[in-house]
Amino acid sequence: MKAKIKSIYYLTIIAAIGTLILQGMWLYRQYSYTITHESEQISSKIYNLMAGYRDSRSYMQTPDKDIRRHIVSSVENDSTPSMEGYSNVVIKYIEFDRQKLSDLDDMVAERLLKKTDLDDYEIQRKGGAVIRHSYSVAPTVMKSKIMSGIDDAIIEYQSPLLIASVDSIFREANLRIYASLVTMDDDYWEPISEINRAFGSPSLKIIYPYSPLDKKAIEFVYMIPLVDLLRPMLTILVISVMLSILLILCLIRQIITIREYVRLDLTRNNFVHTMIHELKRPISTLKLCVSALDNPKLASDSDKRSLIISNTKNAINNLSTYFSRLRDITFNEASQIPLNINSHRCIEIIENAINGVTAPSEKTVNITTICSEDLIIVCDKLHITQILDNLIENAIKYSSDTVNITIECRKDNNMICFSVIDDGVGIAENEQKKIFDKFYRSPQAMRGTALGVGLGLTYVKLLTEAHGGNVKVNSQENKGTIFTISIPQE
């Protein structure tokens, strides 16, 4: 049975942990999907804003120049051996000063601006300037991208990108994006994005090449707000957390139930063993006495016959007392226990309790009684005797080979107080509030060899409260214990 319980216990834990791991993986995938979706939206906004800014820059010109553009060779194999296979792109800028053009005849100026086959010498003689930019492009780059790159380079030449303008555009779009200009080591013709999915600080990084031929790019860093990520998955997140908490609570409850079941099973076994042990002694006595009565020699001896009959009565009384204890334990409230109230001498109750205790042969027990001969108590004699009997048995059971017990009885105002004092192993302070609970046994008692089911002190408290009294304990480990029961006399 224990093996099956352990198997269920471990399988439950494994299933719960597996469920939580799968749920965590699913939530992380949902989280990653949300980050990807958010990054795509932000990337789209960045590309659209940068495209608009590029268009606005393409219409700008330097205030004192009118630039005529000539592409000498847009696609041409490079003749350099180390660059074989690469394309050579040359952008030729012809610039005329507007003031010098205004000094010329209108027809001459118009011809200079429209003519595309002027050589460099003629342009320079008329006051113009020739500027050439050469670029080497990998053969894998498509021609359409090269032409687009040429346009970007011309735009950058005539209207350079300003980081302040970029920041202003993003502020107007309510985007908190950090932008910085960078120079690329390699050829990048398309934007490159990198998503950091760290739970605490997710971010999006984009390298945007605004002039690929010049290897110029702008780096954007956008810190994705965690609230924006959790908002769309809030419902799923709340449900997942609630299910996880419910699963954990169910697991805890199941573990507690299994542990309780194991404890009850152990208590049941201990109860059966203890009951067998307690019943075995009076039954053995009865068996011996009955056998003796069948012996003719013993039957003719009146003294021995009287002793046998006395022992038989004691054995029957012990059985009756034991079953009475079991009956009383079944009552839920002390008021339900029937009492036979009469006046009795305290010293007589103490002596009966001492006589009813059988000390183990391997232990030396010294019992001292402190009680006035004429002290009277109104109580149920049998129950008070059983209370003292229980306390004395516990003092002997949880002690060393030699135990000294003092039984004191005194009157305190309107209370008769019985104290059982021993020098045994004592009770830990954190255990003293639990020892009166039904079926409770301290770890120290569980490790020992003394039999018990944890009902003795429960029985003591129940019978004391049935008399309207109370029971107190004062104990120190390895020094001893004092149990005091107080019975009111009004």
- Span 442-458, pLDDT tens digits: 666 655 555 555 677 88
What is the C-alpha separation between 170 and 50, in angstroms, rounded? 10
Q: How many domains does the chain have?
A: 3
Considering the domain architecture, whether residues 181 and 249 belong to the same structural domain is answered as: no
Rounded mean pLDDT of 296-308?
Answer: 70
Domain for residue 91, yes or no? yes
For position 70, what pLDDT does the model report?
A: 43
Average pLDDT, the chain: 77
For position 129, what pLDDT does the model report?
A: 67
Structure tokens at 30: 């949902």
What is the C-alpha separation between 397 and 449, in angstroms, rounded? 9
Tens-digit pLDDT profile for residues 38-71: 888 999 999 999 999 888 888 765 544 444 444 4
Find residue 471's DSSP bridge partners. Answer: 485
Q: Where would I find the H helices in 91-233? A: 98-103, 106-114, 120-125, 143-158, 163-172, 226-230
Q: Which of 76-80, 218-222, 437-441 has the highest mean pLDDT?
A: 218-222
Considering the domain architecture, whether residues 357 and 376 belong to the same structural domain is answered as: yes
Considering the domain architecture, whether residues 188 and 302 belong to the same structural domain is answered as: no
What is the C-alpha separation between 436 and 417, in angstroms, rounded? 19
What is the C-alpha separation between 441 and 449, in angstroms, rounded? 13
For position 63, what pLDDT does the model report?
A: 47
Domain boundary among the residues 187, 210, 230 is at: 230
Domain boundary among the residues 175, 200, 230 is at: 230
Q: At residue 322, what is the residue type?
A: Y
Q: HSE of 323 in the Cβ direction (CA atoms, 13 Å)?
A: 7
Note whether 126 and 105 are within 8 A (CB): no
Considering the domain architecture, whether residues 219 and 184 belong to the same structural domain is answered as: yes
Domain for residue 18, yes or no? no
Domain for residue 2, yes or no? no
Q: What is the DSSP string of 182-235?
A: EE-SS---S-EEEEE--SSS-EEEEEEEEEGGGTEEEEEEEE--HHHHHTTTHH
Whichever domain contains 367, its CATH number is 3.30.565.10
Find residue 482's DSSP bridge partners. Answer: 421, 474
Whether 105 has a pLDDT exceeding 50, the answer reads: yes
- Whether the full predicted model's pTM is greater than 0.95, yes or no, is no
Whether 175 has a pLDDT exceeding 60, the answer reads: yes
The dihedral over CA atoms of 158, 164, 169, 174, expressed in degrees to the nearest 10, equals 170
Tokens 């719960």: give the residue: 16
Q: Which domain holds residue 286?
A: 234-308
Domain for residue 5, yes or no? no
pLDDT band at 471 (very low <50, low <70, confident <90, very high): very high
pLDDT band at 220 (very low <50, low <70, confident <90, very high): very high
Name the least confident of 7-11, 26-30, 421-425: 7-11
Identify the residue with better confidence: 111 or 140.
Answer: 140
pLDDT band at 81 (very low <50, low <70, confident <90, very high): very low
Considering the domain architecture, whether residues 348 and 440 belong to the same structural domain is answered as: yes
At residue 213, the 3 state secondary structure works out as helix
Identify the residue with better confidence: 366 or 282.
Answer: 366
Considering the domain architecture, whether residues 147 and 226 belong to the same structural domain is answered as: yes
Structure tokens at 136: 């080497």
Domain for residue 348, yes or no? yes
Domain for residue 82, yes or no? yes
Domain for residue 327, yes or no? no
Considering the domain architecture, whether residues 419 and 470 belong to the same structural domain is answered as: yes
Considering the domain architecture, whether residues 336 and 479 belong to the same structural domain is answered as: yes
The percent of the chain in helix, strand and coil, each rounded to the nearest 5, is 50, 25, 25
Considering the domain architecture, whether residues 241 and 105 belong to the same structural domain is answered as: no
Considering the domain architecture, whether residues 127 and 225 belong to the same structural domain is answered as: yes
Considering the domain architecture, whether residues 216 and 302 belong to the same structural domain is answered as: no
Domain boundary among the residues 173, 207, 230 is at: 230
Identify which of 244, 249, 262 has the alpha carbon closest to the alpha carbon of residue 8: 262
For position 325, what pLDDT does the model report?
A: 63
**CB-based burial label for 90 (10 Å; 0-12, 13-18, 19+):** middle
Domain for residue 8, yes or no? no
pLDDT band at 347 (very low <50, low <70, confident <90, very high): very high
Identify which of 156, 130, 137 has the alpha carbon closest to the alpha carbon of residue 75: 137
CA distances from 67 to 94, 314, 469, 490 (A): 6, 129, 113, 121
Q: Show Cβ contacts of residue 163 under 8 Å, excluding neighbours closer than 6 positions.
A: 179, 180, 181, 218
Q: Show Cβ contacts of residue 175 under 8 Å, excluding neighbours closer than 6 positions.
A: 42, 45, 46, 222
Considering the domain architecture, whether residues 279 and 207 belong to the same structural domain is answered as: no
